[in-house]
Structure 1
Amino acid sequence: MRVAFVGKGGSGKTTLSALFARYTAHRGGPVVAVDADINQHLGMVLGVEEHALPRPMGSHLAEIKEFLRGENPRITSAAAMVKTTPPGRGSRLLRLPSADGPADDPVHTRFSVPTPEGPRLMVTGPFSEEDLGVACYHSKVGAVELYLNHLLDGPGEYVVVDMTAGADSFASGLFTRFDMTFLVAEPTRQGVGVYRQYRDYAADYEVPLAVVGNKVHGPDDVAFLREHVGDDLLVCLEHSAAVRAMEQGRPFTLDDLEPANARALGTLLAHVDAQEKDWERFGRQTVEFHLRNARAWANRAVGEDLAAQVDPEFVFGPTRVSLHG
């Protein structure tokens, strides 16, 4: 299952992404946490030292594309692949590394590292000196979209993505790549304002969305969120001294978490597990956004009609396609 955490900058979505990834990994099964935020802090919250961070996917797009395209005859070269290019017959597809074993494909081997609490970490990477003033961050986030487009994830397998802040996620089709999107909202007008914006943008795209109240101090905060969010409010996490200590760099384990907040993480996982995997929607929207991007900019940028990359005979889903080594 693919899970996105979105919300206003400063809402705590990176911290909640890390807590949820840790909690889920502790219950077994593979978990990959992906830092797709322009502010790259997920590794730090997961306990990975800066010198031990994985290679940034966004800086190695050509290598990733070359592997994923495999022997797909519809893709003329790695350079002809864009962030929305869908898989087809001959493409290489990915499975998540097992929870207790090494990765066995070049993407996970080269671009992920284990973390002390169990999840593997992947990162898009920050801006480099060469990017400043000439590149937009979506060129790096495109690596995550390609990764998810070529991923076969099954029951009990999880990808947790810390997304960019606010509604910036809608600058690409990446927002449709998830089985569940958790919008992290503080009990403030700004927090619920981002929720309304995200809800309205996502409404036409069948995006499963639930609100996670964060930094809640009491019943009045819960009532405020309920008034403005309604039934989309799934659960609230109270203000946490343990989390604050973790954010200040002090030692932290899940056992330090307040019981109410630990139960809230359990509610999130149960909600994810209750979602039905909709491969038909995933495939349909993958093709839709690829064709939309092809018409808008990609055909012109690549110099080809990228609609030809769509394989009408390819069926998305792990029970109906095979992996290619």
Structure 2
Amino acid sequence: MKIAFVGKGGSGKTTLSALFIRHLAATGRPVIAVDADINQHLGPALGLTDRQAAELPSLGAHLPQIKEYLRGGNPRIASAEAMIKTTPPGSGSRLLRIVEENPVYAACARPVALDEGSVRLLVTGTFAEEDLGVACYHSKVGAVELLLNHLVDGGDEYLVTDMTAGSDSFASGLFTRFDLTFLVAEPTRKGVSVYRQYKEYARDFGVALRVVGNKVQSADDLAFLRREVGDDLLTAFGQSDWVRRLEQGAEPGLGELEPENRSALELLHAAVDAAFADRDPRRYADQAAHFHRRNAESWGNAKAGADLSEQVDPDFVLPDGRTVQEQAAAAV
């Protein structure tokens, strides 16, 4: 399962991403956490010190190595240098699985021990001094898109991504790479404006979107969200002393989280598992090809000096990560 958390800057999406990651890890499921926000705060939200977070290896710094590994023996890709962020897998490509060891994880993933369970953490990396004024952050986030294009995942294993704020996610096809997207919205006009914008952009791509209210302090706040968001509202989180303690540097156990907020996490988990039954591997492949062709025509061909649309293998679809039983249930 591939899950994204998006929302307005300051809405609390990183906090809720981290809470959900902790919840999944506490159930014993395998989890990969990905920090794809320009403000790299997911590590500290999972309990790392600032120093530990700063020492994490970045996906962006290992992009040539990632490309070389994923290229494998794909005859449609002449070299790792010919791969761009949208390059889809094809026959001969190496694929990634959540529960495995591989050179990409060895170079870029680091285990994070939680009070209940543990996760693998991947980070895109912060802006370096040489990036300022000459590069956009999406050049780093592109590594995440490349990984997700090559990821085979099942229904009882999870990859959770803390995305860039606002509508920045639409600067690439990354927004289509998830089974379910949670949009974190505060009960304010600005909070729901991001929801409307995101839903409008995602409408033509079959993006599964649910809204999670945050910083909801009263029945009036909840009524406002229901009025503005309608049936897309899944649940809401209120003020949390647990979160405040965590942000102050304490390490409270997940079992101490307020019961109402634990219940909200259970609703998120149930929604994710339900969304898995609706995944369509063919559509996933077609969307990857669509955005790759667009990027190739827009800038990739000029950069590579070749027609990168030829990298698309029209007959290739990622293996279905579902079990035989899950596939049978989805067909009913």
What TM-score does the superposition give when structure 2 sets the normalisation length?
0.93
The reply on whether 1:177 has 2:177 as its aligned counterpart is: yes
Find the aligned partners of 1:264 and 1:143 in 2 and give their Cα distance.
Answer: 31
Contact 1:95 1:152 in 2 (8 A): yes
Report the Cα offset of residue 317 of structure 1.
Answer: 2.2
Aligned to 1:3: 3
Find the aligned partners of 2:129 and 2:252 in 1 and give their Cα distance.
Answer: 34
Aligned to 1:79: 81
Question: In structure 2, the residue corresponding to 1:164 is in which secondary structure?
Answer: coil
Q: What does 1:144-293 correspond to in 2, within 5 Å?
A: 144-275=144-275, 276=277, 277-293=279-295
Number of aligned positions between the proteins:
315
Among residues 83, 101, 113, which one is paired with 1:116 in the alignment? 113
Q: Deviations over 1:109-149 (max 9, x none)?
A: 21111112212110000001111111100000000000000
Find the aligned partners of 1:119 and 1:95 in 2 and give their Cα distance.
Answer: 14
Report the Cα offset of residue 319 of structure 1.
Answer: 6.1
Q: What does 1:20-31 correspond to in 2, within 5 Å?
A: 20-31=20-31
Q: Deviations over 1:145-198 (max 9, x none)?
A: 000001000110100000000001000000000000000000011000111000
Find the aligned partners of 2:27 and 2:187 in 1 and give their Cα distance.
Answer: 30
Question: In structure 2, the residue corresponding to 1:60 is in which secondary structure?
Answer: helix
List structure 1 runs of 4+ shifted beyond 6 angstroms. none
Report the Cα offset of residue 245 of structure 1.
Answer: 1.3
Report the Cα offset of residue 108 of structure 1.
Answer: 1.3
Find the aligned partners of 1:29 and 1:256 in 2 and give their Cα distance.
Answer: 20
Find the aligned partners of 2:51 and 2:241 in 1 and give their Cα distance.
Answer: 28
Amino acid at match of 1:183: L
Question: In structure 2, the residue corresponding to 1:55 is in which secondary structure?
Answer: coil
Aligned to 1:61: 63
Aligned to 1:323: none
CA-based RMSD: 1.2
Deviates more, 1:51-60 or 1:86-95: 51-60
Identity, in percent, stands at 62
Q: Deviations over 1:260-306 (max 9, x none)?
A: 00000000000000012221211110111001111111111111100
Aligned to 2:103: 106
Report the Cα offset of residue 75 of structure 1.
Answer: 0.5
Q: Deviations over 1:67-118 (max 9, x none)?
A: 1101111101111000000001111001112xxxxx5101112111111221
Contact 1:176 1:285 in 2 (8 A): yes
